[in-house]
Amino acid sequence: MIDIPPLLPQAIAAARSAGVYIMTCYQTGHAVFQKDDASPVTEADREADRIIVAKLRQITPGIPIVSEEGEKPDIAEAEYFWLVDPLDGTKSFIRGKGHFTVNIGLIHNRREAVLGVIYDPVSKEMYYGSAQGAFCERNGTEVPIHVRRKEAPLTALVSHSHINAATEGYLVAHHIEKRIPSASSIKFCMLAEGKADIYPRFGPTMEWDVAAGHAILAAAGGKLTLPEGQPFLYGKPDFLNGDFIAQGGE
């Protein structure tokens, strides 16, 4: 086992430093490149990755780091590993829409998200969670956050751009009519601070999209499972997720 609490402020500092660079690019302009899978990547993605990975290697030299923009190390024997999305919402960043975050999560034994940090560089809101609880730092003040108790009618979070027939079918089957469109990993944070009840996701995501939010949600009293209730696991082939359900209190 590793000592988690001292790692949290270091991860927060790394996310904030990456966010400062991202905002510099956002405000002054940035080059856009194309990855092998034809998805876009910017210099902000790449430099934010370098900032975060350098910090994590410094504080946990023996723990593998899996980052969207970096190499994908072998984690077959790893008890812990980091999952990093240095700029979640690259397309929104490129379009100037403001819906993007910095995500850092720490995974233990492939099923426990034990530390998570999500930073919104535009609002400067910092969400983080661990065994010590979940918090939001807003306007310089740290506030504990917790999921809300479910009471009908439920409110669902849905993606701005990825809602599909399977999601619609789930919402209809569970009689959920009220929906809040949102982008990036902030949906997990909204669940964690009791602004909604459930976030059903049907369709592919990557583990680095989810890990930080999972940790914050779990620390706030929520949970992340597969649609039938099985545990959500990490370290999958190519780090590709299937469908999942994130939810707040019972």
Strand 244-247 and strand 198-201: pairing?
A: antiparallel
Confidence of residue 34 (pLDDT cuts 50, 70, 90): confident
| Residue 150 belongs to some domain of the structure | no
Q: Tell me the one-letter amino acid at 162.
A: H
Domain count, the chain: 2
Say what percent of the chain tops pLDDT 90. Answer: 79
Cβ distance 34 to 19 under 8 Å?
no
Same domain, residue pair 198 and 106: no
The token duo for 56 is: 């994590």
Which CATH number goes with the domain that contains 104?
3.30.540.10
Same domain, residue pair 173 and 217: yes
Question: Could you read off the pLDDT of 103-134 as tens digits, one per residue?
Answer: 999 999 999 999 999 999 999 999 999 999 99
Of 74, 148, 164, 82, the closest CA to residue 116 belongs to 82
Question: Could you read off the pLDDT of 185-234 as tens digits, one per residue?
Answer: 999 999 999 999 999 999 999 999 999 999 999 999 999 999 999 999 99
pLDDT, position 84: 98
The token duo for 107 is: 């995974």
Same domain, residue pair 21 and 112: yes
Question: Could you read off the pLDDT of 146-195 as tens digits, one per residue?
Answer: 999 988 899 999 987 667 899 999 999 999 989 999 888 999 999 999 99
* Domain region containing 192: 155-247
pTM exceeds 0.85, yes or no: yes
Which CATH number goes with the domain that contains 168?
3.40.190.80
Using DSSP's 3-state secondary structure scheme, residue 60 falls into coil
Question: Could you read off the pLDDT of 136-149 as tens digits, one per residue?
Answer: 999 999 999 999 99
Burial of 88 (0-12, 13-18, 19+ CB in 10 A): buried
